[in-house]
Chain A
């Protein structure tokens, strides 16, 4: 059962920067050990809602890590997976990476530009989790991933909530069926825009 309240936003109109109303009377009540699943068609305001939630969470001084969609797949630097992690984490612990199970320590020397889409997403997720946030916010983490990667990521996220490594998870996803199994015993709040 949910214990601590993370977000309690009374009914509000979700608007774009230019004032266009995307959704009327939207209320969000989100507590720890819960997953907030945001879905909706393209242009329905999922990313706008995420920005709104990030603002609310930062006002409440809750440690958040946000993994947005990639704007560029390639980097102009010859950067490795290990570099990506160490840029944010400083010294990286191989045992922590191994325990998380999203990337294999042997893949750390892989170049970012030659890594697969799944390896890149798992790297960014590993980076965000090892920064030890209270709430993790993921924008379309399963896009363009095969079933194996989707399943690996969703089971890992489910485990982190169960083990209380993460207090809450906010997820934008179209593929609800893919993670239904991984989140089946968890409290999932659906927010369809």
Chain B
């Protein structure tokens, strides 16, 4: 077990950074009413990443850095471009349209797989996640990008909180809290980075579960954010370690179950200790 942990120790910074960041970004989705939209953007990103794999496989003699970045860039560009296109058409905004586009993107992913059978293994790897097979260079690039995303988020954390609250309370049409807000661009970049390096199931779970479960049990913004940071910080490495200890346990589901468990238990324990 310790030998295995030693072998995979380089994965921990990426897991910790991504889980905390996803937890914090997920905290903004409900007040911004972006839950369903994020689901659509994630599926569009997945389609974009698959296109990126196709482009990458068709290109010869590219440097290793670009080799890993092409699917990432393709996912970000497709999700943001298409997302903006939908947003500009007032008639196609709204949750039901986001769901329709989510389904279309999912169908498009399947058509792509049937047309190019070589993509199937990429798709299942990105969907279910297989972080243990990540190469050293890919891990280095992903960790560096995730660390940059963490610094960026730390800088704009307060602004994002303020805007999220104002948008929920006054509505996006009121003009309050509208201003320049790059939250959606940031969240798409983070989601694509996380799904292309760790997997879609992991990304969506760490995005949605902590904020939902913790908000139900905490009182106050500070307490919620501290709890999200603690639960996400321990869950990804703990779930990963568990999957190493029990070799029949899948990595990402172990992390998700550990996350649910800690999000339910830790706020409850904190409340009990306070009493």
**Contact surface of A with B, Cβ cutoff 8 Å:** 51, 54, 66, 68-72, 75-80, 82-84, 87-88, 109, 111, 124
B27: chain A residues at CB < 8 Å are 77
Does B95 sit at the interface, judged by CB under 8 A?
A: no
A75 contacts across to B, CB distance below 8 A: 31, 165, 168-169
> A82 — nearest CB in chain B belongs to which residue?
B220
Is B221 interfacial (CB-CB < 8 Å)?
Answer: yes
Q: Which residues of A contact B219 (CB under 8 A)?
A: 78, 80, 111
B contact face: mostly helix, strand, loop, or mixed = helix
CB-based contact B162/A77 at 8 Å? no
Determine if A77 and B174 form an interchain contact, defined as CB atoms under 8 angstroms apart: no
Q: Are B215 and A68 touching (Cβ within 8 A)?
A: no
Cβ contact within 8 Å between A71 and B31 = no
B176 and A79 within 8 A (CB): no
Chain A hits for B165, CB < 8 A: 75, 77, 79, 84, 87
Counting residue pairs across A and B whose Cβ atoms lie within 8 Å, the total is 66
Also in contact, A78 and B218, with CB within 8 A (given A71-B169, A72-B168) = yes
Query: B220: which A residues are within 8 A, CB to CB?
Result: 78-80, 82-83, 109
Some 9 contacts from A to B, beta carbons below 8 A apart, are: A66-B176, A68-B176, A69-B174, A71-B168, A75-B31, A75-B168, A79-B165, A83-B221, A109-B220
Q: A68-B170, A72-B168, A72-B171 are in contact. List 5 more A-B contacts (CB 8 A).
A: A71-B174, A77-B224, A80-B219, A82-B220, A83-B222
Complex Cα gap A51–B31 (Å)? 24
Residues of B with C-beta under 8 A to A78: 215-216, 218-221, 223-224
Top 7 A-B pairs ranked by shortest CB distance?
Answer: A71-B171, A76-B30, A83-B221, A68-B174, A87-B162, A68-B170, A80-B220
Chain A residue contacts of B173, Cβ below 8 A? 71
Indicate which residue in A66, A69, A80 contacts B221 across the interface (CB closer than 8 Å). Answer: A80
Tell me the complex Cα distance, A69–B169, Å. 9
Chain B residues at the A interface, C-beta cutoff of 8 Å: 27, 30-31, 158, 161-162, 165, 168-171, 173-176, 215-216, 218-224
* A81, B171: Cα distance in complex, Å: 19
Residues in chain B near residue A68, CB distance under 8 A? 170-171, 174-176
A177 CA / B122 CA spacing, docked (Å): 69
Q: How far is the CA of A67 from the CA of B186 in the complex (A)?
A: 28
Q: How far is the CB of A72 from chain B (nearest CB, A)?
A: 6
| One of A66, A69, A77, A124 near B31 (C-beta < 8 A) | A77
Tell me the minimal C-beta distance from A70 to chain B in angstroms. Answer: 6
Residue of A nearest to B220 (CB): A80
Say yes or no: B215 contacts A77, CB within 8 Å.
yes
CA distance A68 to B170 in the complex (A): 6
Residue of A nearest to B170 (CB): A68
Report how far A111 CA is from B219 CA in the complex, Å. Answer: 7
- Residues of B within 8 Å of A88, CB to CB, are 162
* Residue of B30, B158, B176, B219 with most chain A CB atoms under a 10 A cut-off: B219
A79 CB contact (under 8 Å) in B158, B170, B174, B221: B221
Chain A residues with CB under 8 Å of B31's CB are: 75-77
Find chain B residues with CB under 8 A from A54 CB: 175
Q: Which residues of B contact A76 (CB under 8 A)?
A: 30-31, 168, 215
The reply to whether B215 and A87 contact each other, CB–CB distance below 8 Å, is no
Q: Within the assembled complex, what's the spacing in Å between the Cα atoms of A111 and B224?
A: 13
Whole-angstrom distance from the CB of A13 to the nearest CB of chain B? 21
Cα of A76 to Cα of B33 in the assembled complex, Å: 10
Q: How far is the CA of A78 from the CA of B226 in the complex (A)?
A: 13
Using CB atoms, name the residue of chain B closest to A68: B174
Which residue on B lies nearest to A50, using beta carbons? B175
**Minimum Cβ distance to chain A for residue B229 (Å):** 15
Query: What A residues does B168 contact at CB under 8 A?
Result: 71-72, 75-77
Which residue of chain B lies nearest to A124 when distances are taken between CB atoms in the complex?
Answer: B169
On whether the beta carbons of A70 and B215 are closer than 8 Å, the reply is no
Beta-carbon nearest neighbor of B172 in chain A: A71
Query: Once the chains are docked, how many angstroms separate the CA of A70 from the CA of B171?
Result: 8
